[in-house]
Structure 1
Amino acid sequence: MVEALCDSAVAVGRELIEAARNEPRWHNVAKHMLHAWDDGMASLRSPKKSLQFKGLKPAIEAAGFSAPEPAERAREVIGHSPLLGKRS
Protein backbone atom coordinates (compact mmCIF):
# COMPACT_ATOMS: atom_id res chain seq x y z
CA MET A 1 0.00 0.00 0.00
CA VAL A 2 2.80 2.43 0.88
CA GLU A 3 4.54 1.61 -2.39
CA ALA A 4 1.35 2.46 -4.32
CA LEU A 5 1.03 5.76 -2.45
CA CYS A 6 4.64 6.66 -3.23
CA ASP A 7 4.12 5.76 -6.91
CA SER A 8 1.03 8.00 -6.97
CA ALA A 9 2.89 10.88 -5.31
CA VAL A 10 5.65 10.62 -7.92
CA ALA A 11 3.12 10.64 -10.77
CA VAL A 12 1.19 13.60 -9.33
CA GLY A 13 4.49 15.34 -8.54
CA ARG A 14 5.43 15.27 -12.20
CA GLU A 15 2.03 16.78 -13.07
CA LEU A 16 2.60 19.44 -10.41
CA ILE A 17 5.96 20.31 -11.95
CA GLU A 18 4.30 20.71 -15.34
CA ALA A 19 1.57 22.91 -13.82
CA ALA A 20 4.23 25.08 -12.17
CA ARG A 21 5.94 25.51 -15.54
CA ASN A 22 2.65 26.65 -17.08
CA GLU A 23 1.75 28.96 -14.18
CA PRO A 24 4.82 30.73 -12.73
CA ARG A 25 2.86 31.96 -9.68
CA TRP A 26 2.65 28.32 -8.51
CA HIS A 27 6.41 27.76 -8.67
CA ASN A 28 7.16 28.49 -5.01
CA VAL A 29 4.17 26.56 -3.64
CA ALA A 30 4.85 23.61 -5.95
CA LYS A 31 8.49 23.55 -4.90
CA HIS A 32 7.60 23.43 -1.21
CA MET A 33 4.90 20.80 -1.77
CA LEU A 34 7.25 18.54 -3.70
CA HIS A 35 9.99 18.81 -1.08
CA ALA A 36 7.48 18.08 1.72
CA TRP A 37 6.13 15.05 -0.14
CA ASP A 38 9.64 13.79 -0.82
CA ASP A 39 10.60 14.22 2.83
CA GLY A 40 7.49 12.27 3.84
CA MET A 41 8.31 9.44 1.46
CA ALA A 42 11.94 9.44 2.63
CA SER A 43 10.75 9.01 6.22
CA LEU A 44 9.07 5.75 5.17
CA ARG A 45 12.27 4.22 3.87
CA SER A 46 14.24 1.95 6.10
CA PRO A 47 17.81 0.80 5.46
CA LYS A 48 16.94 -2.57 7.04
CA LYS A 49 14.27 -3.44 4.48
CA SER A 50 14.99 -4.51 0.94
CA LEU A 51 11.89 -2.71 -0.38
CA GLN A 52 12.76 0.72 -1.74
CA PHE A 53 9.99 3.22 -2.31
CA LYS A 54 10.18 5.77 -5.09
CA GLY A 55 10.90 9.39 -4.34
CA LEU A 56 10.53 12.76 -6.00
CA LYS A 57 14.20 13.79 -5.75
CA PRO A 58 15.03 13.05 -9.44
CA ALA A 59 11.94 14.96 -10.64
CA ILE A 60 12.68 17.90 -8.33
CA GLU A 61 16.26 18.11 -9.58
CA ALA A 62 15.20 17.76 -13.22
CA ALA A 63 12.70 20.60 -12.76
CA GLY A 64 15.46 22.81 -11.38
CA PHE A 65 13.70 23.53 -8.09
CA SER A 66 15.98 24.83 -5.35
CA ALA A 67 15.79 23.71 -1.74
CA PRO A 68 12.75 24.98 0.17
CA GLU A 69 13.16 28.22 2.09
CA PRO A 70 12.77 27.98 5.85
CA ALA A 71 9.41 29.08 7.23
CA GLU A 72 9.16 32.65 8.50
CA ARG A 73 9.04 33.05 12.23
CA ALA A 74 5.79 34.45 13.58
CA ARG A 75 6.09 38.02 14.81
CA GLU A 76 2.81 38.02 16.70
CA VAL A 77 2.39 37.02 20.27
CA ILE A 78 0.78 33.60 20.49
CA GLY A 79 -2.88 33.96 21.35
CA HIS A 80 -3.18 37.54 20.07
CA SER A 81 -4.82 38.07 16.72
CA PRO A 82 -3.84 41.10 14.62
CA LEU A 83 -7.49 41.18 13.53
CA LEU A 84 -8.78 42.08 17.01
CA GLY A 85 -9.57 45.69 17.77
CA LYS A 86 -7.38 47.73 20.12
CA ARG A 87 -8.39 47.83 23.77
CA SER A 88 -8.90 51.26 25.26
Structure 2
Amino acid sequence: MSDIHLERLGGFGGFGGAGSAIRSIGEVSSEQLSSSDKARMETLFADPSTKRPEPADGFRYRITWKTSSGKKTIEVPEALVPQSLRDAVKDQLR
Protein backbone atom coordinates (compact mmCIF):
# COMPACT_ATOMS: atom_id res chain seq x y z
CA MET A 1 0.00 0.00 0.00
CA SER A 2 1.37 3.41 -0.97
CA ASP A 3 0.78 5.87 1.82
CA ILE A 4 3.06 8.68 0.61
CA HIS A 5 1.99 10.65 -2.47
CA LEU A 6 4.52 13.04 -4.05
CA GLU A 7 4.17 15.79 -6.60
CA ARG A 8 7.12 17.79 -8.00
CA LEU A 9 6.20 21.40 -8.76
CA GLY A 10 7.88 24.46 -10.19
CA GLY A 11 11.24 24.61 -11.85
CA PHE A 12 12.01 26.57 -14.98
CA GLY A 13 9.11 24.96 -16.89
CA GLY A 14 6.56 25.53 -14.14
CA PHE A 15 5.79 21.81 -13.83
CA GLY A 16 2.59 20.83 -12.13
CA GLY A 17 0.84 24.17 -12.59
CA ALA A 18 -2.66 24.44 -13.96
CA GLY A 19 -1.40 25.13 -17.49
CA SER A 20 1.38 22.56 -17.46
CA ALA A 21 1.21 19.66 -19.91
CA ILE A 22 3.51 17.58 -17.72
CA ARG A 23 2.70 16.33 -14.27
CA SER A 24 5.41 14.82 -12.06
CA ILE A 25 3.98 12.43 -9.48
CA GLY A 26 4.91 9.33 -7.52
CA GLU A 27 3.88 7.10 -4.65
CA VAL A 28 5.88 5.24 -2.02
CA SER A 29 5.08 3.03 0.92
CA SER A 30 6.58 4.32 4.16
CA GLU A 31 7.41 0.69 4.96
CA GLN A 32 9.89 0.71 2.04
CA LEU A 33 11.84 3.69 3.41
CA SER A 34 15.13 3.27 5.21
CA SER A 35 15.06 4.20 8.87
CA SER A 36 17.02 7.41 8.16
CA ASP A 37 14.64 8.47 5.33
CA LYS A 38 11.61 7.74 7.51
CA ALA A 39 13.11 9.78 10.36
CA ARG A 40 13.77 12.64 7.93
CA MET A 41 10.16 12.51 6.74
CA GLU A 42 8.87 12.53 10.31
CA THR A 43 11.02 15.58 11.03
CA LEU A 44 9.71 17.39 7.94
CA PHE A 45 6.11 16.67 8.84
CA ALA A 46 6.65 17.65 12.48
CA ASP A 47 8.08 21.04 11.46
CA PRO A 48 7.76 21.85 7.74
CA SER A 49 9.02 25.38 8.44
CA THR A 50 12.61 24.06 8.52
CA LYS A 51 13.09 25.33 5.00
CA ARG A 52 16.18 26.43 3.21
CA PRO A 53 15.96 29.28 0.76
CA GLU A 54 14.78 27.94 -2.58
CA PRO A 55 16.97 28.59 -5.60
CA ALA A 56 15.40 30.57 -8.42
CA ASP A 57 13.37 28.22 -10.61
CA GLY A 58 13.98 25.39 -8.15
CA PHE A 59 11.65 22.44 -7.67
CA ARG A 60 9.53 21.96 -4.59
CA TYR A 61 7.63 18.88 -3.54
CA ARG A 62 4.09 18.59 -2.28
CA ILE A 63 4.04 15.50 -0.09
CA THR A 64 0.90 13.91 1.32
CA TRP A 65 1.32 11.23 3.96
CA LYS A 66 -1.69 9.10 4.92
CA THR A 67 -1.42 7.87 8.50
CA SER A 68 -3.80 6.38 11.04
CA SER A 69 -4.53 9.93 12.23
CA GLY A 70 -5.47 11.14 8.72
CA LYS A 71 -3.80 12.86 5.77
CA LYS A 72 -1.20 15.55 6.19
CA THR A 73 0.28 17.59 3.33
CA ILE A 74 3.40 19.74 3.27
CA GLU A 75 5.32 21.58 0.56
CA VAL A 76 9.12 21.69 0.84
CA PRO A 77 12.14 22.53 -1.36
CA GLU A 78 13.65 19.65 -3.31
CA ALA A 79 16.86 19.68 -1.24
CA LEU A 80 14.92 18.55 1.86
CA VAL A 81 13.28 15.52 0.20
CA PRO A 82 15.10 12.19 0.63
CA GLN A 83 16.56 10.83 -2.61
CA SER A 84 14.52 7.62 -2.35
CA LEU A 85 11.33 9.68 -2.57
CA ARG A 86 12.62 11.91 -5.38
CA ASP A 87 13.47 8.76 -7.35
CA ALA A 88 9.84 7.61 -7.13
CA VAL A 89 8.55 10.66 -9.04
CA LYS A 90 7.98 10.19 -12.76
CA ASP A 91 6.84 12.64 -15.43
CA GLN A 92 3.47 12.05 -17.10
CA LEU A 93 1.60 13.87 -19.83
CA ARG A 94 -1.80 15.14 -18.77
Q: By the TM > 0.5 criterion, same fold?
A: no
* Normalised TM-score (structure 1): 0.27
Q: Which protein is richer in helix relative to its size? A: 1
Question: Which of 1 and 2 has greater Rg?
Answer: 1
Higher RCO (Cα < 8 Å, 6 or more apart): 2
Instruction: Name the structure with the higher strand share.
Output: 2
What is the TM-score of this pair, normalised by structure 2?
0.26
